[in-house]
Structure 1
Amino acid sequence: AMKKLVRCSVIVATLIDAITINHHVPISPPQHSSAPLFHPPPWMPPRCPLRTLLLDNYDSYTYNLYQVLALVNGVPPIVVPNDAHESWDDLCAAVGPFDAVVLSPGPGRPDRPRDFGLCQDAILHSQHPILGVCLGHQGIGSAYGSSVVKAPGGVMHGRLSPVRHTGEGDGLFRGIDSGFKAVRYHSLVIAPESLADCLEKIAWTDAGDVMAVRHKSLPQWGVQFHPESVATESGARLLSNFRDLALDYNHRRGGGGGAVIHPSPHHHYSSDDQQAQDDSLQSSHDAATAEAAAKAAPRGGR
């Protein structure tokens, strides 16, 4: 019964994705609720819930990210528009403690404050683990001095591309084959020759476009593609890997950026339990992916 419930949750995201994948229109972010989307069984939650701040760059994919993050993290993320507060300190004071930050996709450029808002402040001033998606990924590059330029191959409008990566490395691509297919929806890229010294390229396309970066000394990662899209292979697993990286980092720091992390008093989650959770979620995600991909071919142009 729970597997059916998980599959239903993923299918909801699938339907939203099928509508939005070729209509990159900003929407109002979902209102945060303290109630979880569903109550997973004892074997399914992560080692302990990861309370994530999802900074919304006014993008149609924010709700897709919201859904998948809620599933993999064990608690819904806190959604805050990128211009909701005057400063990063004001934002942190308003939302309370959290464990990690995800920077959503969005229209515009990361070097324009009206497009990227407080996301750059998060990159430069937050002590939390950060994952940037699409515009968020470009913003990590831009914040440290990399150039963000027009994609050499033109606008990627919901296109699938093979993505190569350096291997499991620090864990973001753990369990994900190099060459997996990912949805791309962007017209800008980080220029590889301009990549800041503090950043490392960890994934790319066959044409050489930068698809993922990591900071060499801070817990920050960026992915140009959309892991939240149902047409991206292993997208849920990548978000689960970020969850584990954030949990491990916060554990080493004694709670990370101010959130107090308490494992469940009722269950002990072994690595086998965690793998079972990831496999179950990925199976549901992949089944929905196959169905959606069979119905909709990507379209070019914007």
Structure 2
Amino acid sequence: MTSLPSPRPTTPSTLHFTKGHGTHNDFVLVADTRGDLDLSPEQVRRLADRRGGIGGDGVIRLAPTAAIARAGEAVADAVLAEEPGAIWFMDYRNADGSVAEMCGNGVRVFTAFAEALGLATLDGGGELALGTRAGVRRVRKEDGPDGTPWYAVDMGPWHLPGGPEAEAAGADAAVAVRGWTAPRPALSVDVGNPHTVVALASTAELEALDLTRAPQVAPLPAHGTNVELVVPLGEETDGETGLTTGRVRMRVHERGVGETQSCGTGAVAAALAVRTWASAGGRTPVDTWFVDVPGGLLRVRALEGGRAELAGPAELVFTGETRL
């Protein structure tokens, strides 16, 4: 892994940063180990600007959870009450400067960043518990399908906002995409942040979508929603292990960002929506899913107790300094 300099105090004018990505969902990462950095929405937008800044789908600040609590965010107090060991907090901002609950790809990249800074050790079976605005997230390390390190994140509880009625109907919303003649049914899935999932009939239709404009969702959740367009690719059973896995292909339009190469929480929502549809159709639910996104491959597992796990790679690309 890339060796990074030790964290150092930042000034109002100069910011030390690292660029990282998880399946090409990319972020500007900032180590604020003293908890005294306050990035304005305008500064976040400039950092994330792909022409006038560093460029990224979002900005992640690593800060002490206690400092987030002192700043008045009650969720940080709840994080420490649940897990006193979650001393670091992922302060995530979308590219447009808005605050987001959390980001599944971002959690993995945050963890790789914490490792590089010497703030976490996951090799040898270690675990990192960190705080997010969606609660505590726990991360472990494993070998990915290609032998490279993957990070597996317990994403916490998920649910269908539409309840049993939406589960039975397979939908509780409608989504319109530029070029469609009519809206299509969609299922709302909450994974700590809001998602709306639409099933398509073919990969050709998926590839032809125009996502240069945000899909229109009705009813629109109060804080907006991410929209996943998915094609279920079926299930297969391993002859040696007997494990049945499903596969899904996905594109995503993220609120506050636009179309991205990947979305971790979106992959979880997509897999769980397809699993829900299969179950409603009378099929035995499959718990492990591989999700193909434009930026790579992710794995989603439905866990006991209504929780989910997301696994995939994370890479730190370069470091530098910029003037705010």
Q: Tell me the TM-score normalized by structure 2.
A: 0.28
Q: Which one has a larger percent helix, Structure 1 or Structure 2?
A: 1
TM-score after normalising by structure 1: 0.29
More strand by share: 2
Q: Which has the larger radius of gyration?
A: 2
